[in-house]
Amino acid sequence: MHSKFQDIHNSLEKLLSLSSTQPVKQQGQSSFKEKLYILNDLLTECQILSTKKRTIHFPYINIRIKLNKIKAELESALSQNGNVNPQPNGSANSSPNADISQRRTTPITYRFVDPKIIHGFEEHLATLERLVVRQKSDEDDGYKAIAIVGTKGIGKTSLCAVIFDNEEVKKRFLPRVWVSMPTPSDEEYRKCPKRAIAKRILSSLGVEEVENHGLKGLICALRQELARKRYLIVLDQWYGDLSSSEGDSLGLEHGFPKGYGGTVIVTSRTERVAKQIFGDDKRTVIPLLPLTDADMCWAIFKQEVEKDEWDFSPSNIEELKQQVLERSGGIPLRAKVLGEFMLNQLRQSNNTTPTM
């Protein structure tokens, strides 16, 4: 295992050296920052496993698979940037794992969100942080199940992203995985929604050889992968229905081990999804409602307008505040779009405040 970490370290050093002289290109792969997060988690997991007297081989196999995948992606990045170390047989990618970087990967919509730009939902953020970080003893019988519900553009994903990137959360949970849920138009989802979701979760955990497994096998694999771990799983943007022709009686909640401090967060537009995902397990629902404070909507709007470092202080500010609140309907994403529109208008009118 040490040699694999060393190989990855060497590749990262080469890419760092390249980045000092030219922009480093990556195509269709996770960011270097994300890779460093994953490597840090894997190293911590190896250190934990090394202290145990008796361990099974399964965790080491998955760690090796993840390391091979990162190594292959780094080699691919080096190749794209014209810095390839030939293998003994003359091939730049002769490793048996060289094709890993070409495999289909799960779409990820996670992005860093600065807590300072969360306007109007500070109390909800504090509640979510308290639920996730300040849990009771890990000896509890269950796992923490949380559903964040609200209309499109209300800020569900942003709240989760802030918590996901929280330093205390990073220290507390291993693994941390962000899963973008399949859309109802996804072909595999239409055939068996539960199976499609289970596959996405496993793929995000680095388990890829699951194509030939049915729903029962996937849930069993998920449970085994998460066993004895304090995991955090975010299932983001879940809008579908879990009706299925295969294994309706078997719920996804059976794949989440209990008693080790694990947490699963689901974002959706309806509370009904929480019931479908978590079954009869106890859960906490955090509803997000449209903003009613004009100042909060204005803060979001102004944040976008001042991207060009302009001091946007129009004489009719109170009138504009009400217009932003009414036109956005209290939805943060709409207020942001209105701000982007105003910014474009200002650019075209040489900073003369146009009308909305």
Confidence of residue 347 (pLDDT cuts 50, 70, 90): confident
Per the DSSP assignment, residues forming a β-bridge with 268 are 149, 238
Asked whether residue 176 falls in the same domain as residue 45, the answer is no
Q: How far is CA 83 from CA 15, 76, 77, 79, 125, in A?
A: 9, 10, 9, 5, 44
Residue 355 pLDDT? 60
Whether 44 shows a pLDDT value over 60: the answer reads: yes
Domain coverage including residue 324: 294-348
* 14 is a domain residue: yes
pTM over 0.85: no
* 86 is a domain residue: no
Asked whether residue 164 falls in the same domain as residue 233, the answer is yes
Asked whether residue 334 falls in the same domain as residue 273, the answer is no
Asked whether residue 218 falls in the same domain as residue 323, the answer is no
Asked whether residue 298 falls in the same domain as residue 254, the answer is no
For the chain, the distance separating the N- and C-terminal CA atoms, rounded to the nearest angstrom, is: 60
The encoded tokens of residue 21 equal 């002289």
* 200 is a domain residue: yes
Asked whether residue 63 falls in the same domain as residue 181, the answer is no
Query: What amino acid occupies position 187?
Result: E
Q: What is the 3-state secondary structure (H, E, C) of 279-293?
A: CCCCCEEEECCCCCC
Whether 91 shows a pLDDT value over 60: the answer reads: no
* 110 is a domain residue: no
- Phi, psi values for residue 26, rounded to 5°: -135, 135
Cβ proximity of 175 and 41 under 8 Å? yes
Asked whether residue 252 falls in the same domain as residue 174, the answer is yes
* 103 is a domain residue: no
Asked whether residue 232 falls in the same domain as residue 274, the answer is yes
Asked whether residue 258 falls in the same domain as residue 302, the answer is no
Asked whether residue 281 falls in the same domain as residue 342, the answer is no
Whether 241 shows a pLDDT value over 90: the answer reads: no
- 113-171, pLDDT tens digit by residue? 777 778 889 999 999 999 998 766 554 567 889 999 999 999 999 999 999 989 999 98
| 83-110 core/surface letters (b: 16 or more CB in 10 A; e: else) | eeeeeeeeeeeeeeebebbeeebbeeeb
Query: Alpha carbon 178 to chain centroid distance?
Result: 3
* 272 is a domain residue: yes
> Which pairs count as long-range contacts for 130-135, CB under 8 Å and 24+ apart, including other chains?
131/263, 131/284, 132/163, 132/166, 132/169, 132/232, 132/263, 132/265, 133/166, 133/168, 133/169, 133/172, 135/261, 135/263
State the DSSP string of 202-242.
Answer: HHHTT----TT--HHHHHHHHHHHHTT-B-EEEEEEE-S--
* 173 is a domain residue: yes
Asked whether residue 206 falls in the same domain as residue 325, the answer is no
* 99 is a domain residue: no
Domain boundary among 287, 315, 335: 287
* Residues of the chain above pLDDT 70, percent: 71
CATH number for the domain including 265? 3.40.50.300
Give the count of domains, the chain.
3
Asked whether residue 64 falls in the same domain as residue 147, the answer is no
